[in-house]
């Protein structure tokens, strides 16, 4: 399912940055270091182009793919023994109901004030993709960030290598005509690499624990309340690192770096630690 796309300034900035980094990396850094038609130059250009294409493709899918809608006829089945996990309101103990959308909310769904609707397994609303990051596009968003980090670090290595390889004679011949491109690229790549690496590390942590950004912040409060009450809090969707990885990235390890999401299911219910505990007790 895709969503309608409207003009967004942050998205335009990201697209321009991607094309600028690609152009300077291939036609300046690689060309001035190796020579674009040499074997090392051609190999680096092909590899960097492949990474850039994967970055652009996953970014496009993250923008256009609907993050997940709650069906209009959704109704939680509280009598279903196979699905014991029903989220309730913090106050009152009732099932979670969205007054703005006028329907019940499935587990892990939240209302987005920007999109003005409930989103399945909502992580956050991202202005840089002009879309929510939710159940249907979380993996592709993560893959985009991964390829963006690889592309930025790769470009920085080529930038530094190109600078150190430039001889004084080359500098005199070109008259410093590429100096501006080097400065702009450095000012763009350094903060981008740091920011995206931090973002990637954050989402790796979330995937390891099978949490969303919203659930992390809710868990901090739940942990504090549990400690205050003398009980132990455990995130209900934490199935162990490997199962957490496969539930988000897919059961096939070779598909983890591909922007595919055939494994994700409906987004209306999720496997919990309760299922693991029941399975373990039945196997004894």
Res. 119: pLDDT tops 50? yes
pLDDT band at 94 (very low <50, low <70, confident <90, very high): low
Report the pLDDT value the prediction gives residue 129, as an integer from 0 to 100: 96
- Coil vs helix vs strand at 131: strand
d(CA 120, CA 266): 9
Whole-angstrom distance, CA of residue 89 vs CA of residue 84: 16
Whether 126 sits among the annotated catalytic residues: the reply is: yes
C-beta atoms surrounding 201 within 10 Å: 12
Residue 69 burial (C-beta neighbours within 10 Å; 0-12, 13-18, 19+): buried
CA distances from 240 to 153, 235, 252 (A): 31, 11, 17
pLDDT of 280 > 80? The answer is no
pLDDT in tens, 120-150: 999 999 999 999 999 999 999 999 999 999 9
Per-residue pLDDT tens digits for 186-225 = 999 999 999 999 999 999 999 999 999 999 998 887 776 7
pLDDT band for position 272 (50/70/90)? confident
Long-range Cβ contact pairs of 279-282 (< 8 A, separation 24 or more) = none
| pLDDT tens per residue across span 214-250 | 999 988 877 767 767 777 778 889 999 999 999 999 9
pLDDT at 78: 65
Residue of 101, 112, 126, 258 marked catalytic = 126
Res 53 pLDDT > 90 = yes
């Amino acid at each position: 399912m895709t969503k309608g796309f409207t003009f967004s300034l942050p998205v335009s900035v990201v697209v321009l940055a991607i094309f600028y980094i690609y152009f300077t990396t291939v036609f300046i850094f690689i060309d001035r270091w190796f020579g674009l038609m040499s074997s090392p130059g051609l190999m680096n250009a092909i590899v960097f182009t492949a990474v850039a294409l994967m970055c652009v493709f996953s970014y496009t899918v993250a923008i256009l793919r609907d993050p997940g809608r709650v069906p209009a006829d959704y109704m939680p089945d509280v009598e279903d023994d196979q699905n014991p996990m029903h989220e309730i309101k913090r106050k009152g103990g009732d099932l979670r109901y969205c007054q703005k959308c006028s329907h019940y909310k499935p587990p892990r769904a939240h209302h987005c004030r920007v999109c003005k609707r409930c989103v399945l397994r909502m992580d956050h609303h991202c202005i840089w993709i002009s879309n929510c990051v939710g159940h249907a596009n979380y993996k592709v968003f993560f893959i985009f960030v991964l390829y963006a980090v690889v592309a930025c670090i790769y470009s920085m290595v080529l930038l530094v290598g190109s600078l150190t390889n430039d001889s004084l004679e080359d500098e005199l011949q070109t008259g410093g005509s590429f100096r501006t491109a080097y400065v702009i690229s450095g000012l763009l790549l350094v903060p981008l690499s740091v920011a995206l690496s931090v973002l990637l590390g954050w989402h790796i942590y979330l995937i390891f624990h099978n949490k969303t950004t919203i659930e992390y912040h809710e868990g901090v409060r739940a942990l504090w309340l549990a400690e205050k009450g003398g009980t132990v809090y455990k995130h209900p969707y934490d199935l162990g690192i490997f199962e957490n990885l496969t539930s988000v990235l897919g059961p096939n390890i070779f598909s983890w770096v591909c922007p595919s999401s055939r494994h994700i299911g409906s987004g209306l219910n999720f496997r919990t630690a309760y299922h693991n505990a029941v399975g373990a007790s039945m196997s004894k």
